[in-house]
Structure 1
Amino acid sequence: MKEDIFYGKGVTYAKRDYPEIYKALVELNEAVYTGKVLDYKTQKLIALGITAAKSDDRAVKKQIESAIKEFGVTRDEIVDVLRVVLLTSGNPPFTKAMKILYEVLEE
């Protein structure tokens, strides 16, 4: 199910102008998202937690959209991830991610 989707805007330029760097990114993506021990859905939820903890609005939105589209992840599953963000990273990243979650759900 994993797709080669990169959320950083700069990757488009690397793909166009530096294909060897883009190829390395694709290979790294494949090496990380293996599903060998943790299934890809779990890995996706971890990625969501990390982006939320970093308060990266764009990445949080993309991770939420992708998790819902690819795996049918529920609001409650996402909120469970965000509970960990609240505990480990504090209220600002948590509330920002909650806002983004509800914006995505309302679209």
Structure 2
Amino acid sequence: MTNFPERYKELSTWMDKLGVAIPQTMKGFSELHKASIAPGALDSKTKELIALGIAITVRCEGCIAFHVHDALQAGASKEEIVETVSVAILMGGGPAMVYGIEAMQAVSQYQQQG
């Protein structure tokens, strides 16, 4: 089983390194992320849950690590994440179910970590 808090830290470190190698690209990505998650007609929590649903359906383990973390930080409850997993399974079928399980493992790990 993936250790999602550790995966989050590892990816963050490597994203910093990538920022040194390709600073303009990573700066652009960072700005895109900030603009996309900023509150608007939808609040940041809702946007993180949408991102998590997409992460599950496209089968991106690292994205799950980030968006579960960020959804929890934005105030999402376990129940809201469970419903997000449910919708992702609707849209992505069996593979989304497997990655939805990974999202639930991530929730559990982040909650244990505090």
Q: 1:57: which partner in 2?
A: 61
| TM-score normalized by the length of structure 2 | 0.69
Q: Is 1:100–2:106 an aligned residue pair?
A: yes
Q: 1:28: which partner in 2?
A: 32
Deviations 1:51-99 (A, max 9, x none): 1222222321222122223x23211010010110111112333333333
Higher mean displacement: 79-88 or 32-41: 32-41
Q: Does structure 2 retain, via aligned residues, the 8 Å contact 1:33–1:43?
A: yes
RMSD, matched Cα: 2.3
Structure 1 gap ranges (5+): 1-6
Identity of aligned residues (%): 25
Using the TM superposition, give the Cα deviation of residue 48 of structure 1 relative to its aligned residue in structure 2, in angstroms: 0.9
- Check 1:100–1:23 CA distance in 2 against 1; reply closer, same or farther (3 A cut): closer
Q: Which structure is richer in relative contact order (CA contacts within 8 A, separation 6 or more)?
A: 2
| TM-score normalized by the length of structure 1 | 0.72
Q: How many residues get paired?
A: 100
Higher helix share: 2
Report 1:1-107 matches (<5 A). 11-69=15-73, 71-90=74-93, 91-107=97-113
Q: Does structure 1 retain, via aligned residues, the 8 Å contact 2:85–2:100?
A: yes
Structure 2 gap ranges (5+): 1-10
Higher mean displacement: 18-27 or 44-53: 18-27
The separation in 2 between residues aligned to 1:106 and 1:26, in whole angstroms, is 28
